[in-house]
Copies of this chain bind each other. A is one copy, B any other.
């Protein structure tokens, strides 16, 4: 299934994260030696929870989910994100074992980077370390807010937030294909598959969204935002 791209020359790669701009050619070489680019199909797992950390993964393009199997052995989606971004970073520094999984929700290009180079740069390039710390800090704060919002709002508002997130951030369009199943949508907003169905049905009935299978059309974003704010 997976396709491996030979001769991965990071220097010439046009896809960049903010952290990368700080590096000079020599440092790029340190980071990228032994890196391998792999293409994943939709649904394929990029990082598996419970495995040993061996790599930092740079997602060049594609939509991915961070998810973990919780104490009740139910899967929960922590975040849905799109490249370019690094994933698996906290696991490398905190544990020897990946705390959560990363799975492709669309076809995805990802570079597996040996973490020794990454760690070396952290210790020897203060700006690189500083950028990483900024990224981690933002990640913590965003997740604090996300989690509080999820527990304080009721389902309809959290569902509205998810739709706005897809529309405004992930796809930047009012029309898109939901990149997850109803089951996954439940795992994302913290409810059951059936409740997702009902929410979609209710929103469609009120002409807030148009629905055709996975295809969503945001018809009334103002009401969506109102529902989000009302909690």
Contacts and interface: CB of A to CB of B under 8 A. Distances in A.
Given A99-B145, A129-B123, A151-B150, A71 B231 contact: yes
A52 interface: no
Given A76-B148, A126-B126, A147-B147, A134 B70 contact: no
Interface stretch (A36-44, A86-94, A175-183, A193-201): A86-94
Nearest to A161: B71
A72 interface: yes
Interface residues of A, number: 46
Interface of A: 68, 70-72, 74, 76, 78, 89-95, 99-100, 119, 122-124, 126-127, 129-130, 132-134, 136-141, 143-145, 147-153, 190, 229, 231
A148 B75 CA distance: 9
B138 A140 contact: no
A136 B90 CA distance: 8
A91 B141 contact: yes
A127 B137 contact: no
B126 A123 contact: yes
A25 to B, nearest CB: 21
